[in-house]
C-alpha cells in the first residue's frame, strides 16, 4: 500500500464539499507553443462565469483580461459539439433534452451522480471542458517569459473565488508513462494492471498480435483506476484495472497503455506487456447486474456466464469506492436477489461475485448504482374555486395533507380538446392559491383552470376538477376614424367610419371648449353620424368620437377635429319709427340683441332710389336727420348690423315735413 496524491483524492472529496465554501482547482502547463489552463469548481456547479487575466510575472499588477467563459445555451452547444461527443449533451442539458416529465424528475433525483459524470467527461474530453467554460488555450505567450494567471469565479455578479497560478513558457511539459504493466490470463480474458497511474485522470489500452505490429485501442471509454482510501490514509487499489475479453485460445497478445492527464492530453506509450502468463482457477466475474428499483426495495438480476459457477455473493456499499459489505448469508443460487433494507433517496452501489465448485470466488463485477425513489404522488387537490378582479383570476383550493408536499402547479387552457394545458408556474407554489394576472382581454371565450399537487420528489398528482372562468369584458373597441366634418347655418355635422366589432353598442360624441370636455350626444348613436345643433359661437371647438361596446367600455378617442362656428343669426328689429320734430326727422330703432354693431340709414325721395346718408355706422338707437326741407316728403329705412356682420333691413317709413 502507498499514500495517495491530492489529484487522486480530488474526486473522492467532491461529494464532501458540495455544501462547503467554493474552491476551484486551477492547473496550467506549457506545451512548447501555448499555455493550457484547466480548472474545476469543487461544488460541481455548472452555472459559474469565469474571468481569466494574465500579467507578466515581473509586473503582476499589469494584468489584462484575456477571456470571459461560461457554459453556452443549449442551441449554441449543439452547434459547437462534435458528433463524437453528442451524448454529453444529455448530461450537460438534461432539461432541454428530456422527452417527458419522468425524465426531468429522474434528472432532479440523480443530480449529484450526473454532475460526477460531467466532471469525469470534462477531464478526459477537452471539448466538454471547453463547452463548460472550464479551459483556455493561450496562444499569445512568448517563449521564455514568465506569466501569472488569475481566475475569477462569479455566481451571477458575485465574486465567489479568486485563484492565481504562475508558469514559465520555456520548456514544454512532458507526461510520464505508465510502467510495470502486467497482464494476467483468466479463462474469460486478460486482466491488466500497471503502476504510475497517480498523475492521470484516465487511460487508454492498446492491443496487438505481434510485438512490433499495429496497436489498436480496445477500451471504449477511458479506464479509471478503482481504489478506496482507508482510514489510515492508505489506498486499496482494484486487483486489475482493465479486462480484455478475448475469445481466441492459445494466442499471445501484446499491450501498451497511455495516460490521459487533467488537460485531456495523452501521454507516451508504456512498455509492452505480454498477455499470456498463467492460468487462474477463479471463475470469470459476472456481468454487471441490472436493477429494478421501487420505493422500498431494489432487485438485482444478472445472467449466468460460466456453467461451473454454483452460486453468487451480493455486495453493497454507500459509495462506489466502498466499503462493500456482503448482503447474503449463504450463496445465492438464483440469478436474482432482492434487497429490502433500503431507504428512499440514499445511494446504493451493488456488485456481485461468482463462486465455483472449487470454492474459488471471482473478481467483482462492475458496480451499479441504485437509488430508491418515492414514486407515489401526493393526493389530488380538491375544491378548486376562483374569484375575479377585472382581468385577474384568483384561484384557491383546499390544502393537500402530505408530509412531503412541495407545492402546487396551476394549468390553464382555452381549448378543452387540447391535451397540452399551459403550465402557469414553473416552480410549485407553496400555498393553496394562485393569482393569474391576464392582460385585458375580450370575454368572448372562456378560460379553464385545474391544479395538481407536487411532492419533494417531484411526483405529480392527477389534475383537480376543472373550473370555467368567463372574464368580464374590460377591452374597449377600436377608436373610430372621423371621415368628414362641416359647419352650416351654425350647426356642426360629423361623420365617421363604422367600427367592425362583434359587441359594438354605439358611439358617443364629445365636445371640448376652453379645456372643458362635454358629452354632447347624451344617447348612444347607432349610426356613424351626428349633428351638433347648438355649438358655441366664435370659439375654438374640438370634437372627438368614441366607440362603446355592450359592456359599456369606451374606446380611446378618435383623432380630433378642430372647428370654429361663426354667428349666423341676423339681428332682430322690434320697431323702426320716423317722426318730425321742430323741422327735423327723428328716426328710432329698437332691438334686444346684445351683439349689435350699429345701423346704416338710407333716405329716398321716391321710395325707389335710396341713398345712404350716414357716413359711418350709427351706434345707439336714434338718429336725427336735420337736412330736410319743409313741405317735402321723405322715405327712410335702416340696415341693422351685429358684430358677426349679420344684418337685417327694416321696413320703409314715410314722413312729410310741414311748411
Residue 279: predicted pLDDT = 62
Q: Which ranges of the chain have pLDDT less than 70?
A: 1-21, 102, 105-106, 108-109, 187, 227-236, 247-249, 275-280, 440-443
Q: Which three cell numbers stand for residue 483?
A: 371621415
Tell me how crowded residue 344 is: count the other CB atoms within 10 A of its CB. 14
At 391 the pLDDT is 80
b (16+ CB within 10 A) / e for 492-508:
bebebeebebeebbbbb
State the alpha helices, DSSP H only, in 491-649.
Answer: none
DSSP one-letter code for 177? -
Contacts 24+ apart (CB under 8 A), 196-199: 196/259, 197/225, 197/241, 197/259, 198/4, 198/5, 198/7, 198/8, 199/5, 199/7, 199/175, 199/259, 199/261
Comparing CA positions, the residue from 180, 196, 354, 195 lying closest to residue 280 is 354
At residue 571, the pLDDT reads: 92
Q: Over the stretch 197-217, which tens digit does the pLDDT of each residue have?
A: 888 888 999 999 888 899 999
Q: Say what the pLDDT of residue 62 is.
A: 93
Q: What is the pLDDT of residue 233?
A: 58
Phi, psi torsion values for 118, nearest 5 degrees:
-60, -40
Q: Maximum distance among all alpha carbons in the chain?
A: 174
How far, CA to CA in Å, does 556 sit from each of 30, 455, 475, 515, 552?
Answer: 70, 48, 11, 18, 13
* Cα 311 from chain centroid (whole Å): 55
Task: Write down the pLDDT at residue 125.
Answer: 84
pTM here is: 0.46
Asked if 306 and 284 touch (Cβ cutoff 8 Å), the reply is: yes
**Using an 8 Å Cβ cutoff, are 564 and 599 in contact?**
no
Do residues 263 and 200 touch, judged by C-beta distance below 8 A?
A: no
Distance between CA atoms of residues 164 and 159, nearest Å: 14
Amino acid at each position: 500500500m502507498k499514500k495517495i496524491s491530492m489529484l487522486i483524492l480530488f474526486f473522492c472529496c467532491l461529494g464532501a464539499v458540495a455544501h462547503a465554501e467554493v474552491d476551484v482547482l486551477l492547473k496550467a502547463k506549457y506545451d512548447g507553443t501555448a499555455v493550457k489552463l484547466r480548472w474545476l469548481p469543487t461544488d460541481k456547479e455548472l452555472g459559474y462565469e469565469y474571468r481569466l487575466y494574465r500579467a507578466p510575472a515581473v509586473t503582476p499588477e499589469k494584468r489584462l483580461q484575456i477571456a470571459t467563459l461560461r457554459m453556452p445555451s443549449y442551441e449554441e452547444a449543439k452547434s459547437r459539439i462534435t458528433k463524437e461527443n453528442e451524448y454529453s449533451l444529455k448530461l450537460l442539458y438534461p432539461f432541454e433534452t428530456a422527452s417527458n416529465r419522468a425524465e426531468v424528475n429522474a434528472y432532479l433525483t440523480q443530480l449529484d451522480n450526473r454532475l460526477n459524470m460531467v466532471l469525469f467527461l470534462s477531464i478526459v474530453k477537452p471539448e466538454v471542458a471547453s463547452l463548460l467554460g472550464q479551459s483556455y488555450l493561450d496562444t499569445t505567450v512568448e517563449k521564455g517569459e514568465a506569466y501569472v494567471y488569475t481566475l475569477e469565479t462569479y455566481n451571477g455578479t458575485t465574486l465567489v473565488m479568486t485563484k492565481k497560478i504562475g508558469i514559465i513558457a520555456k520548456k514544454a511539459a512532458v507526461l510520464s508513462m505508465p510502467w510495470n504493466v502486467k497482464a494476467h490470463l483468466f479463462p474469460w480474458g486478460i486482466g491488466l494492471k500497471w503502476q504510475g497511474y497517480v498523475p492521470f485522470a484516465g487511460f487508454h489500452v492498446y492491443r496487438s498480435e505481434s510485438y512490433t505490429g499495429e496497436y489498436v485501442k480496445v477500451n471504449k471509454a477511458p479506464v479509471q483506476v478503482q481504489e478506496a482510501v482507508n482510514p489510515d490514509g492508505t489506498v486499496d487499489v482494484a486487483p486489475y484495472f482493465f479486462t480484455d475479453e478475448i475469445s481466441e485460445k492459445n494466442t499471445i497478445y501484446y499491450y501498451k497503455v497511455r495516460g490521459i492527464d487533467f488537460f485531456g492530453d495523452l501521454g507516451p506509450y508504456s512498455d509492452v506487456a505480454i498477455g499470456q502468463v498463467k492460468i487462474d482457477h477463479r471463475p470469470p466475474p459476472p456481468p454487471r447486474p441490472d436493477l429494478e428499483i421501487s420505493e422500498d426495495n431494489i432487485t438485482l438480476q444478472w445472467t449466468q456466464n460460466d456453467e461451473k459457477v454454483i452460486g453468487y455473493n451480493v455486495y453493497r456499499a454507500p459509495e462506489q469506492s466502498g466499503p462493500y459489505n456482503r448482503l447474503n448469508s449463504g450463496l445465492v443460487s438464483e440469478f436474482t436477489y432482492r434487497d429490502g433494507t433500503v431507504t428512499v433517496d440514499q445511494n446504493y452501489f451493488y456488485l456481485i461475485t461468482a463462486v465455483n465448485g472449487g470454492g474459488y470466488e471471482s473478481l467483482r463485477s462492475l458496480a451499479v448504482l441504485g437509488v430508491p425513489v418515492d414514486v407515489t404522488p401526493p393526493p389530488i387537490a380538491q375544491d378548486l374555486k376562483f374569484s375575479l378582479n377585472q382581468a385577474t383570476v384568483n384561484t384557491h383550493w383546499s390544502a393537500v395533507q402530505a408530509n412531503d408536499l412541495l407545492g402546487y402547479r396551476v394549468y390553464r387552457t382555452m381549448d378543452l380538446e387540447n391535451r397540452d394545458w399551459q403550465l402557469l408556474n414553473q416552480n410549485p407554489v407553496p400555498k393553496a392559491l394562485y393569482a393569474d394576472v391576464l392582460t385585458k382581454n375580450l370575454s368572448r371565450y372562456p378560460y379553464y383552470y385545474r391544479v395538481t399537487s407536487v411532492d419533494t420528489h417531484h411526483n405529480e398528482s392527477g389534475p383537480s376538477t376543472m373550473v370555467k372562468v368567463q372574464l368580464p369584458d374590460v377591452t374597449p373597441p377600436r377608436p373610430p376614424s372621423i371621415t368628414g366634418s362641416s359647419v352650416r347655418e351654425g350647426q356642426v355635422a360629423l361623420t365617421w367610419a363604422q367600427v367592425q366589432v362583434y359587441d359594438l353598442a354605439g358611439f358617443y360624441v364629445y365636445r371640448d371648449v376652453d379645456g372643458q370636455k362635454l358629452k354632447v350626444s347624451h344617447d348612444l348613436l347607432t349610426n356613424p353620424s351626428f349633428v351638433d345643433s347648438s355649438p358655441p359661437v366664435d370659439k375654438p371647438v374640438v370634437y372627438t368620437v368614441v366607440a362603446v361596446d355592450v359592456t359599456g367600455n369606451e374606446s380611446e378617442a378618435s383623432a380630433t377635429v378642430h372647428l370654429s362656428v361663426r354667428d349666423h343669426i341676423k339681428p332682430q328689429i322690434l320697431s323702426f319709427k320716423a317722426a318730425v320734430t321742430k323741422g327735423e326727422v327723428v328716426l328710432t330703432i329698437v332691438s334686444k340683441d346684445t351683439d349689435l354693431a350699429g345701423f346704416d340709414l338710407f333716405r329716398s325721395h321716391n321710395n325707389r332710389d335710396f341713398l345712404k346718408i350716414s357716413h359711418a355706422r350709427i351706434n345707439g338707437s336714434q338718429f336725427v336727420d336735420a337736412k330736410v326741407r319743409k313741405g317735402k316728403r321723405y322715405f327712410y329705412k335702416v340696415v341693422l348690423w351685429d358684430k358677426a356682420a349679420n344684418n337685417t333691413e327694416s321696413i320703409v317709413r314715410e314722413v312729410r315735413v310741414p311748411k
